[in-house]
Structures are given as structure tokens and as C-alpha cells.
Amino acid sequence: MAGDLDDDVARVMRAVPRVDFLTAEQRQFADRDRALPLWHGQTGSQPSTVAAMLRLLAVPPGAHVLDVGAGSGWTTALLAHLVGSSGEVLGLELDAELAAWGAANVARHDVPWARIEAADPRHLGRERPGGWDRILVSASPRRLPRALVRQLAPDARMVIPVRTTMTLVVSTAGRIGTSAHGAYTFVPLRAGRRG
């Protein structure tokens, strides 16, 4: 599912089975490389897309990571394994019911440095002193949200699907650069203030 590469991303995807983060009705399809429905119009991303995003994100051990649109908790748990116990992962999910379910899924994986919380519908992301080393966004805005760009640390990365284009945002010494990495389909990013 993670491709032929045998790297950190492929290893964590083997260590954190997708089936643990699917509804009972969808577990039979866990090995299929496609997005699967959760509820309330939300989906769990297909494994090849998740792998591509995580490789672009290039998460180092010990990083502080924000996971926007955490859904079932699968990406939050994958990120937790990439950062290790010296890091931190905060998953945010706007749907409160989905956030509670995702939080329970992550809790079963014994990664106490990772958690999922309900997102504040009035604000996109969550401020952190010094900013986030990495931000992963699993929903698609119409344009790059300045609010999330401002939450990046001085030397940081964000991976976000803007409209249908997977976009890598790199913050280096106060300068922001972007690059495009293929076309994908995601659910729309919803927040009260997109900034």
C-alpha cells in the first residue's frame, strides 16, 4: 500500500494498520488503495495518497506536528510513530463525533505523545509557541490558508491539497516557498475563519 519503497513511511504504515481506523462496515476494504467513507461526508484517505503526503512532509524524529483534518486518527498515529516519543502530534478534527472516535483509535495505539482534539470552528489550526515543525492537512481549501502558514516554525514544512493540487509549503529563515506535487481529490476544508 505504501509503494515499493522501504523507508520510514513504508515501515510505519506496516506498523499502524489502516484497519484499526475504519468503521466496522469498511474494515473488509482496508487493503484497497482507495478512500473509504467514515460518516458525515468524511472519508479516510487512500493509503498511496497518505504515503505520498508523509514523504513530502519529511517528518524528523522529535518534531512537533499539527494534523489538520485528523478524522479517524490514522494519520495522527502514523505521524506519532515518525516523530517518536520525543515529539508531539496534535490532530484536529472539526466533526466532534469523529474527533472523539479518532482520539479513541489513537489512544489504543500507545502513543501518548499524540492526541486528537475537536477543532475550534472559528479558527483554523492551533497556535503553538515557536510554531509547528510540520503541518499535514487532509482536506482541501480553495486557496492556501495564511492562518496555517503563520503557524509554521521558521524552518518547517506543510503539505496541503489546495483545490486539487498537492502543495508543499516550505518555510526557511522567514521565507515561504511552495511547489506542486500532483492532482488529488479531498473533502473540502471547513473552518469558520480560513485566514
Catalytic residues: 45
67 close to 75: Cβ distance less than 8 angstroms: yes
Q: Which value, to the nearest 10 degrees, does the dihedral of the CA atoms of residues 109, 136, 30, 93 take?
A: 70
Radius of gyration of the chain (CA): 15
Burial class from Cβ neighbours inside 10 Å (0-12, 13-18, 19+) for residue 24 reads: exposed
For the chain, how far is it from start to end, CA to CA, in angstroms? 35
